[in-house]
Structure 1
């Protein structure tokens, strides 16, 4: 197992090597996007424990958007947020009870455009390994962890597809045990994996 210092150094190198902005449409070059679309700013927290585990959530089945999907803690930027880092940490505190004071921010990844017209900025942080999470019942059904080594291996990713708005749309998946990690979450992680390779 890597020491926290080695893990921090590895993640910092990966952040520096990420190629550029990503999109839910990366694998679908034939999709025509409206020229005048307006992207709403949002941020997610890619929290990695000192023991080498990525913290993810399973969204509540009661939510209007993306019910039951695997996601990072995060959400839309509020007017009162100082910046997108503040957004990610605030959302993580609200959704999983993560104390912002316990998160050491390592860096920021290029933004990711979603099909729901958000420009999502991923913030990467290290957190202690012995945290107890408190899922916000209205939004989060479960908080779980995945070894960071699993999502940093490009060979663990697959390209799958389904029909969406009358077209077949392809996307990345990186399943782990009973968890089907796909869509924007998998695409953001895939970029990080490429940076770590």
Structure 2
């Protein structure tokens, strides 16, 4: 199984995938890692691991449709079985969703359908939930609305801040992503 991973930031989930592939516990190939902006730690991690990387910098395109087409072309060039959005903070075009329909996976730091969007952890804390968590789902044309593949609950502890809760969710998210990818790869 070949995957392309898309990142916008540090790539902590990506690092877990790289480590699992390197250890032999996750039987897949990371065909490439792409980002939507230059100089992300996720791309630096990937390059250090010897992986092919690409950047389709959102700010380099005058028209959103041009960026969408360039991203689709860059990902499709690697012929992935699955595309993994792991902290990729861009909504992709319907043409991208259609090209990878049922093969575009997203991670989200909340128990969807609750708290979709870019601030799931903050929103869960503000609402006062006692349990939140993480979700791996198939991305569709909505914002965090695609079919759920798997979820893991994470308790909200007294005194939690957005940062402390998010760090615990990231740990659960990494484990869940590895489980899902392992299952898809037939491991």
Q: Say whether the fold is shared (TM-score over 0.5).
A: no
| Range into which the TM-score falls when normalised by the shorter chain | under 0.3
User: 1 or 2, which has the higher helix percentage?
Assistant: 2
User: 1 or 2, which has the higher strand percentage?
Assistant: 1
TM-score, normalised via structure 2 length: 0.24
